[in-house]
Amino acid sequence: MSDEHANPAPLGIDPSASRRIFLLMLTLGLGAYVSFTLMKKTEPVPAEVSKDPLLAAGREIYLARCAGCHGTTGKGDGPNAKSPAGPPAGDLTDDVWKHGSRPEQVLGVIRDGSKDTAMAAWRGILGDESLRAAAAYVYYLAGREPPESLRVAAAR
């Protein structure tokens, strides 16, 4: 066997730099995993939510899609609340909702988003049943009884 096959020429990469890059990538990956795990922790499901299938479904959707901006309790204090794309996320626990509190108004904001804000349109991503469940959970966060029209339509 010739010497060039026994000891291949180095690829021009410093082994110590390679180890540092590997350790940096490993550290970043571990940091991302820890951050994700910490952010994923949520409060226990309140009893009134766990007993109500519409609210339970709405909570799951809300935590996955809305809590990033509106916060887990709806106060508008989520990690993404201070968006450069317009006003801060709304506080859903306020007595007066900027876009109205009738079921069709709440559904409209969730479905179509809100112009000149970071509020995304969920139409095409969430189906009607999921939109109604999310709307019902928004009412729950505000301390309001979810309108019967959300329940009746969801039960169909």
The residues spanned by each domain of the chain are: 3-40, 47-155
Instruction: Specify the long-range contacts of residues 110-115, CB closer than 8 Å, at least 24 apart.
Output: 110/134, 110/135, 110/138
Would the pTM count as exceeding 0.85? no
What is the per-residue pLDDT for 5? Answer: 57
Instruction: Report residue 113's pLDDT band, with 50, 70 and 90 as the boundaries.
Output: very high
Q: Which CATH superfamily, name and number, covers 47-155?
A: Cytochrome c-like domain (1.10.760.10)
Q: Is the pLDDT of residue 111 over 80?
A: yes
Model pLDDT for residues 2-52, shown as the tens digit of each residue: 555 556 556 677 888 888 898 889 888 888 877 776 666 667 888 999 999
Say if residues 70 and 92 touch (Cβ distance below 8 Å): yes
How high does pLDDT run on average in the chain?
85
Residue predicted with more confidence, 153 or 93: 93
Say if residues 136 and 151 touch (Cβ distance below 8 Å): yes
Burial state string for 51-69 with b = 16 or more CB within 10 A and e = fewer than 16: ebebbbbbbbbbeebbbeb
